[in-house]
Every structure is written in C-alpha cells, then in structure tokens.
Chains A and B, each alone.
Chain A
Amino acid sequence: SQQGEEDPQALSIQEGENATMNCSYKTSINNLQWYRQNSGRGLVHLILIRSNEREKHSGRLRVTLDTSKKSSSLLITASRAADTASYFCATDYTGANSKLTFGKGITLSVRP
C-alpha cells in the first residue's frame, strides 16, 4: 500500500511552542501535500511540495521532504489554539490516476 504513516499519532503542546509532525510513505511520489481537518469539517489544503523540492514555507508552516528516506515533516511555528486539528499527509505518484493517498493523520492539541 502507498498509504503514508504519520507520527506521532497525537501531539499535545502549549500555545507558542512549535509542533513537528512526520510522515513516511512507501513508493516514489510526484508530490506530497499536507491537509488540516478541524473536527467535523472537511479537509483544507495547507501546502504542496514537489518531489524535486526539499523545503517549502508558507506563513508559519515549514515542510521538508527527503525522498531518499521517503519522509516529510510539517513544522508549525508559534502554535495557536486555533491550530488544534487533525493533520494528514497525502501523496500522489506516477500511475495514481488523479488520486491522492492519505495517511492516518495526527491529532494536534494546542493548549491555551
């Protein structure tokens, strides 16, 4: 299965701290994306990193990609209570036929 695996499965931090979440996958990819899902809502796209990129920033988000290790990390700096959500990595790969494969997700709780 191509399904990604995030770790940790749950993370609880204090507001203002940084949160780091990791994702690993199994086969070669074209792109890797991170999505956020607030409780009971749809997913929201956060950031996409292509297989030929190593690092990408968007506001307080920093994503890295290591294709040799088949892994990615999402760093949220200066976390806020509003960052409390589930975070999913998703990959697409050659032959995926327009599909994404989502990991199991990480539940982030940011304590005020």
Chain B
Amino acid sequence: DAMVIQNPRYQVTQFGKPVTLSCSQTLNHNVMYWYQQKSSQAPKLLFHYYDKDFNNEADTPDNFQSRRPNTSFCFLDIRSPGLGDAAMYLCATSRDPRTSGIKQFFGPGTRLTVL
C-alpha cells in the first residue's frame, strides 16, 4: 500500500547532540511537510517542500533544518536539540494543491526524547 513511513518511531538523544529524523513516501506526492506536535497541542508546521522548493515558517528556529534529496525522501535535522524540542515529529505529504486541494497524508510520527 502506498504510504508515508517515518523512521525511527522513537528516538532518544542527548542535549546538544545532533539528530536526524527521516520520512519516505511511496505516494509520489509533490509536497512534503514536517510538523512538531507537543502534548495536547495542534501540529505546528516547521517547513515544507514543494518539489525542490523549500518553504520555511517564519518562527521555525534555526536549529531545525531539512533536506529533500529526491521526491521520496525528506529529512529533519535538529542540530543541537534542547529539552524544549522533545515532541512528536510528524511528516506529511500532499499532491499538488493547485489541482487537488491540500489533503495531507501523515506518517505515524517519531517521538523524540531529549535527555
């Protein structure tokens, strides 16, 4: 089945130690998103790629970076995780929103713990 896959599902890192979360999709969607979600809160968009075009949210800290080497894969790099970065990180995809609306397909998420 076509899907959005996130690895790992659980990630533990130390304060200040760089970490990379990965997302892959078999849907061949143009757009890939990264969200941060803290307990009992709405998902907060960090950035998204429209094909190769990177779109950063104004309030996303510089500590968060992303790479999209090809259509299928997208990575979230946290350069120096702080305790406040502990959260669920959600990857999502959508087709070209100009033709199909912005229905998003989510992966299962990666739960990040910072010690």
Contact = CB atoms under 8 A, between A and B. Distances in A.
Q: Do A and B share a complex?
A: yes
Interface of A: 3, 30-31, 33, 35, 40-45, 48, 50, 88, 90, 92, 96-100, 102-105, 107
B97 A102 contact: no
B94 A98 contact: yes
22 contacts: A3-B42, A30-B101, A31-B101, A33-B103, A40-B88, A42-B4, A42-B6, A43-B43, A43-B92, A43-B106, A48-B101, A48-B103, A88-B43, A92-B97, A92-B102, A98-B50, A98-B55, A98-B94, A98-B97, A102-B43, A103-B42, A104-B41
Interface string B59-91: 000000000000000000000000000001010
Contacts, number: 64
A105 B90 CA distance: 16
A33 B103 CA distance: 8
Q: How large is the interface on B (under 10, 10 to 19, 20 to 34, 35 or more residues)?
A: 20 to 34
Nearest to B90: A42
Contacts of B105: 45
A80 B6 CA distance: 29
Given A45-B103, A107-B40, 8 more contacts: A41-B108, A42-B107, A43-B43, A45-B104, A48-B101, A98-B94, A99-B48, A103-B42
Given A31-B101, A44-B106, A98 B43 contact: no
A72 B108 CA distance: 27
B29 to A, nearest CB: 11
Interface string B33-60: 0000000111101001010000100000
A92 B6 CA distance: 25
